[in-house]
A = this chain, B = another copy of it.
Amino acid sequence: MHLTQPVHKALLERPEATALICKNRRCSFATFAGRVSRPAAELRDLGVHAGERVAILGHNSDHYVESLYATWWAGGVINPLNARWNVHEIAFSLDDSQTRILLVDPAFLPVVEQLRGLSRALAVVLCLGEGRGDTMAADDDVESLIAAAVPIEDARRGGEDLAAIMYTGGTTGRSKGVMLSHGNLYLGQLSACLAAPRPDDAVGLNPAPLFHIGGLGLTLQLMLRLCPQILVPGFDEAQMLSLIERERASETFLVPTMLKRLIEHPRFAEHDLSSLALVLYGAAPIDEPLLAIALERLPHTRFAQLYGMTELSPVVAALPPWCHAAGQPRGRLRSVGRPVPIAEVRIVGASGALLPPGSVGEIVACGPMVMSGYWNLPEQSAEALRGGWLHTGDVGYLDEDGFLYVVDRLKDMIVSGGENVYSAEVENAIAQMPQVEMCAVIGVPDETWGECVHAVIVLRDGALLDAEQVIAHCRGLIARYKCPRGVSFVERLSLSPAGKILKQPLRAALSPRGKA
């Protein structure tokens, strides 16, 4: 199982069929194959050997997808950088994974110079497309390389060979590189397609970022079925509506807040969305009122929730379309679904003992989609994978019918607008301010974002600080989406007997119900 296999299949079966649609560009699988095997030749010339990392920084585009496959074709490993990170976070990822080569979307050329100063590993920067212009930030642009290069043979890496290092926020305050093999990613996507059955002869529309496993997964799922896909740089309701109609798109991935924005758009009724057969959603459950409106406004559409995480390539459970129909047991929509066929899921107690149905404990999983570990972190890897099970850090239970419910997170994490924010990382940033004695970062419920990052700070004696200063300070260190949106100052924080800050009272006090 190698991720480049669909390219070979397409050349044999459907070379002239459309593979990628982006802006006014539309390329066939035959063209795609050439645009993969030629830059791969250049990467090989630049010394990319089997297993070497290649970073990609950009918004979703056909060129991004070509870069992924070119890297695999050359034998390399992708390191897709979160486009919302700041330059320090990007440099950390490059240096931690020893990534020498960066492929960059023209929109991100302005950060390249600073990045070269910050990163020791970075040696070569290639600009995607022809957008390099007069700037000297990039060493070359990929279009010129495509024009000049002679295609090489696929390295045909596969199975246990490393395919991706995907950095996710860490509970210890630094992000960790999740190592996924070709087999992990291939099987993970095969399994995701099975868990939420896909429309026949589909056309995909991918607004989920390719630097996250959710977006990457959808693109791979469409590739392995040789279906055309539309890449958009981000979620835009009006554009989504137009594209679904124009391209007869049949499947997409959204978070529930995006679905809400889509169906509440003032021009919604003007568009023919009858082709949209399946909406996959994740990151948060769908609530009953939203589902009711969605089923009414999109009568041809089925809905399926996917639950997972980067470490699980990513889907470990799915709530299939039939669970969204009328007459289902009350509360089932709050379930993340049943474990997918390739995954075994258990609920374990603090001692690691297996708990019976209905009991709340940590959700652990095993199967061929589990990561091999965290890059260069043998201790954290062993801890996460102890006993051969991936410890998700999510707390939940299985009901008698095998439906999984997530009730809390062991990992101190906030999910805001579909992004995971680790409290420890934000706390580390705030703690660098000399005025701060102590701080705790929590998520507070938010209608639009699911949760918002909120900081609670105890100042040192005599220190003076306001919320704006805290937020500005954080923006210099961490990505904007991780920075607090609200800051409270308090006299003291309650501590556990072990000296750990107790966050539950803060959450209770700051939730709308707590306020009432």
Footprint of B on A, CB under 8 Å? 1, 5-6, 8-9, 12-14, 16-17, 190-191, 193-194, 197-198, 200-201, 224-226, 320-322, 338-339, 341-346, 354, 367-368, 398, 400-402
A344–B12 CB distance below 8 A? yes
Contacts of A14 in B (CB 8 A): 401-402
Q: Which residue in B197, B225, B321, B401 is a CB contact (below 8 Å) of A198?
A: B197
Please judge, given known A-B contacts A193-B194, A320-B200, A322-B201, whether A224 and B341 are in contact too, CB under 8 Å. Answer: yes
Contacts of A401 in B (CB 8 A): 14, 17
CB distance from A330 to the nearest CB of B (A): 18
B400–A16 CB distance below 8 A? yes
B190–A342 CB distance below 8 A? yes
B9–A368 CB distance below 8 A? no
B402–A226 CB distance below 8 A? yes
CB distance from A513 to the nearest CB of B (A): 33
CB distance from A161 to the nearest CB of B (A): 14
Q: Which residue in B13, B342, B344, B368 is a CB contact (below 8 Å) of A345?
A: B13
Each complex incorporates copies of this chain amounting to 2
Chain B residue with the shortest CB-CB distance to A158: B368
Q: Which residue in B1, B17, B339 is a CB contact (below 8 Å) of A9?
A: B339
A398–B321 CB distance below 8 A? no
Contacts of A398 in B (CB 8 A): 12-13
Chain B residue with the shortest CB-CB distance to A14: B402
Q: What is the CA–CA distance of A354 and B8 in the complex, to the nearest angstrom?
A: 13
Q: What is the CA–CA distance of A140 and B368 in the complex, to the nearest angstrom?
A: 39
Chain B residue with the shortest CB-CB distance to A223: B341
CB distance from A294 to the nearest CB of B (A): 18
Contacts of A320 in B (CB 8 A): 200-201
Please judge, given known A-B contacts A191-B190, A344-B5, whether A13 and B338 are in contact too, CB under 8 Å. Answer: yes
Q: What is the CA–CA distance of A200 and B121 in the complex, to the nearest angstrom?
A: 50
Chain B residue with the shortest CB-CB distance to A302: B200
A341–B200 CB distance below 8 A? no
A13–B339 CB distance below 8 A? yes
Q: What is the CA–CA distance of A172 and B505 in the complex, to the nearest angstrom?
A: 78
9 contacts between A and B (CB under 8 A): A1-B368, A5-B344, A8-B344, A12-B346, A14-B402, A16-B400, A190-B190, A190-B191, A190-B194
Contacts of A9 in B (CB 8 A): 339, 341, 343-344
Q: Which residue in B8, B200, B321 is a CB contact (below 8 Å) of A322?
A: B200
Please judge, given known A-B contacts A194-B193, A341-B225, A342-B190, whether A200 and B12 are in contact too, CB under 8 Å. Answer: no
B345–A12 CB distance below 8 A? yes
Q: What is the CA–CA distance of A220 and B209 in the complex, to the nearest angstrom?
A: 36
Chain B residue with the shortest CB-CB distance to A15: B357
Q: What is the CA–CA distance of A17 and B357 in the complex, to the nearest angstrom?
A: 14
CB distance from A402 to the nearest CB of B (A): 3
Q: What is the CA–CA distance of A285 and B51 in the complex, to the nearest angstrom?
A: 46
CB distance from A64 to the nearest CB of B (A): 22
Contacts of A8 in B (CB 8 A): 344
Chain B residue with the shortest CB-CB distance to A400: B16
* 7 residue pairs, one from A and one from B, having the closest CB atoms: A13-B402, A200-B322, A197-B197, A14-B402, A224-B341, A194-B194, A9-B344
Contacts of A225 in B (CB 8 A): 341
CB distance from A40 to the nearest CB of B (A): 19
Contacts of A5 in B (CB 8 A): 344, 367
Contacts of A194 in B (CB 8 A): 190, 193-194
A342–B200 CB distance below 8 A? no
Q: What is the CA–CA distance of A6 and B340 in the complex, to the nearest angstrom?
A: 11
Q: What is the CA–CA distance of A120 and B398 in the complex, to the nearest angstrom?
A: 51
Contacts of A16 in B (CB 8 A): 400
Scoring A13, A16, A197, A321 by chain B CB atoms within 10 A of each residue's CB, the highest score goes to A13
Scoring A9, A321, A322 by chain B CB atoms within 10 A of each residue's CB, the highest score goes to A9
B1–A342 CB distance below 8 A? yes
Chain B residue with the shortest CB-CB distance to A221: B341
| Additional A-B contacts beyond A12-B402, A190-B194 (18; CB < 8 A) | A1-B368, A5-B344, A6-B341, A8-B344, A9-B339, A12-B346, A13-B339, A13-B345, A13-B398, A14-B401, A190-B341, A190-B342, A193-B194, A194-B194, A197-B197, A197-B200, A200-B321, A226-B402
Chain B residue with the shortest CB-CB distance to A159: B368
CB distance from A323 to the nearest CB of B (A): 8
Q: What is the CA–CA distance of A354 and B9 in the complex, to the nearest angstrom?
A: 13
Chain B residue with the shortest CB-CB distance to A2: B368
Q: What is the CA–CA distance of A475 and B226 in the complex, to the nearest angstrom?
A: 49
Contacts of A341 in B (CB 8 A): 6, 9, 190, 224-226
Q: What is the CA–CA distance of A339 and B14 in the complex, to the nearest angstrom?
A: 11
Q: What is the CA–CA distance of A14 and B368 in the complex, to the nearest angstrom?
A: 21
